[in-house]
Amino acid sequence: MTKPYVLGIDIGGTNSVFGIVDARGQVVASDSIKTQKHNNFDDYVDELHAAVMRLLKDNDAEDKIHGIGIGAPNANYYTGELVNAVNLPWGKHVKIAEKVSKKFGGIPVAVTNDANAAAIGEMTYGAARGMRDFIMITLGTGVGSGIVVNGQLLYGHDGFAGELGHVIMKRNNGRMCGCGRTGCLETYCSATGVARTAREFLEIRTEPSLLREIPVEDITSKDVYDAAVAGDKIAKDIFEFTGNLLGQAFADMVTFSSPQAFILFGGLAKSGDLLLKPIKESLDKNIMECFRGKAQIIVSELKESDAAVLGASALGWEAKYKAE
């Protein structure tokens, strides 16, 4: 008989959130540990295992886990490894599926990157239910993406497809990106990118702004949002600039996969019309005629913590990798 639950684990740069999820996508119970406490992955897995076992015991679910799904930055669906995950402390190649499965006594494990996990969550339980073609865009510290075509996650031949935060938006004099190149979408349109834009605008422009009251290196995208809501002209222009670039990028993405919708997720996606209006206007202006008016722009309906855990957990139902 199929066991009634799966375990979803979302490994973020700060917290690792995990939840017991039933077949209808209800999070039965969840908890978290700090991700960065251990520099050795085995120690991290030991602590994760102990915390999960407590949660399972408290919920009478110790022998009821069908599979484990894990979402983590740079996790590869095909190989089960974390590869060059610069925000995680465990080295260049971590055999995460193998080590977790072994620690959990051979329960099957599947892994994918965090944006793909969020896309699966959205498709299974959120705004993308019933959609066969959509693009999930996560606007957080970076810009991530999960692409669904023909109802399937697009992994590419090596499992690394869907790095849309790194399409080039400025081919000359673009901003330096953490990936080593310049001009990537995420240098402009992540939360960090918005803060960079604020610093640039404040330096170039002379008019007063609420943002000038904050030490320039401390400005966050939340500060820009608050200032814009208070009517600050520079702050509103920063959102206009950000949305305009996202719309241009989305127009190019449409020529690739012609999605039914873009689903926005992450802190910046909560900016409402401040961001959505310029995105929609820019998409409409920049899109090829035959696609105009088709792709919707939708903000995720799922709680941020839930989407990643639910998405990861959905992988658990089909997880095949078992450690011996």
Residues near its own copies (CB under 8 A) are: 74, 83-84, 131-133, 147, 149-150, 152, 154-164, 166-171, 179-181, 248, 251-253, 255-260, 286, 288-291, 294
Nearer to its own copies, 2 or 173 (CB): 173
Distance of closest approach, residue 305 Cβ to its own copies, in angstroms: 27
Q: Which is nearer to its own copies, 51 or 161 (CB)?
A: 161
Find the shortest distance in angstroms from Cβ 168 to its own copies: 6
Min separation Cβ 144 and its own copies, Å: 11
The single-letter code of the amino acid at 214 is: I
State the minimum distance, in angstroms, from the CB of residue 205 to its own copies.
21
Q: Which is nearer to its own copies, 124 or 258 (CB)?
A: 258
User: Could you tell me the smallest distance in angstroms from the CB atom of residue 230 to its own copies?
Assistant: 32
Q: Which residue, 149 or 214, is less far from its own copies as judged by CB?
A: 149
Give the other-Cβ count within 10 Å of 29's Cβ: 14
Q: What is the CA radius of gyration of the chain?
A: 20
- Closest listed residue to residue 112, CA positions, set 60, 150, 151, 147: 147
Q: Which of 160, 317 has the CB closer to its own copies?
A: 160
Beta strands 261-265 and 296-299, pairing class: parallel
The distance of closest approach from Cβ of residue 192 to its own copies in the complex, given in angstroms and rounded to an integer, is 18
If we measure between CA atoms, which residue out of 76, 73, 84 comes closest to residue 11?
73
Tokens of 263: 């689903």
Of 51 and 179, nearer to its own copies (C-beta) is: 179
Backbone phi, psi, residue 30, to 5°: -150, 160
Assigned token pair, 235: 């702050």
Spatial separation of the C-alpha atoms in residues 160 and 187, rounded to whole Å? 20
Distance, CA of 248 to CA of 225 (rounded, Å): 21
* 113-132 burial code (b ≥16 CB/10 A, e <16): bbbbbbbbbbbbbbbbeebe
| CA dist., res. 140 & res. 191, Å (int) | 5
Between 80 and 162, CB nearer to its own copies? 162
Q: Tell me how far, at minimum, the Cβ of 287 lies from its own copies, in Å.
A: 9
